[in-house]
Amino acid sequence: MARVRGSVRIAAPLEQVFDTVADSRNEPSFNPAMTEAELLTPEPVRLGSEFRARMGRGRMDMVVELTEFDRPHRLASVTTSSMMETSGTVTFTPEAGATLMAWDWQVRPKGWFRALSPLVGPLGRRQERRIWAGLKRKLEVQPTPASTDGTFGGSRRNVR
């Protein structure tokens, strides 16, 4: 098992960041590795919602289930594919006119992919930073509502 953790500060409202992440159908717009995602369960997106996502050109299908849903502060999910199972949480914390989003995943390779276990952590960390940097770019270029003290709309680039 590998652990993949990190965080990113996004200059966007807490609820907007949470809602974008909670609905996996948004991910292809900021994760170039994901080609499509569909909701398998009835609207609205909530605890127990399931999505089917496709990575690459049909290379890998995944099913994502939301196992915790505390809007706008915490999401947990389990993602299952033929190559691995990933479970963990994403937390959302208001921080000086922005949102600090942190992830903590446990990745369990399956089958022949277990032979690559020593690489899963470093590659997973790099991939997650890339994905969430894409989310940061997407949300920070979209118009966001100004807060009463005018703190939203600025952009501090900071991916940890």
Question: Cα(65)–Cα(100) distance, rounded to whole angstroms?
Answer: 23
pLDDT in tens, the chain (160 residues): 888 899 999 999 999 999 999 999 999 999 998 999 999 999 999 999 999 999 887 678 999 999 999 999 999 999 999 888 999 999 999 999 899 999 999 989 887 766 666 666 667 778 888 998 999 999 998 655 544 444 434 433 344 4
Query: Which domains, from first to last, does the chain contain?
Result: 2-159 (3.30.530.20)
Q: Give φ, ψ of 148 to 5 degrees.
A: -65, -25
Question: Cα(98)–Cα(14) distance, rounded to whole angstroms?
Answer: 7
- pLDDT for 60: 83
Contact between 133 and 6 under an 8 Å Cβ cutoff? The reply is no
Residue with tokens 């020593």: 118
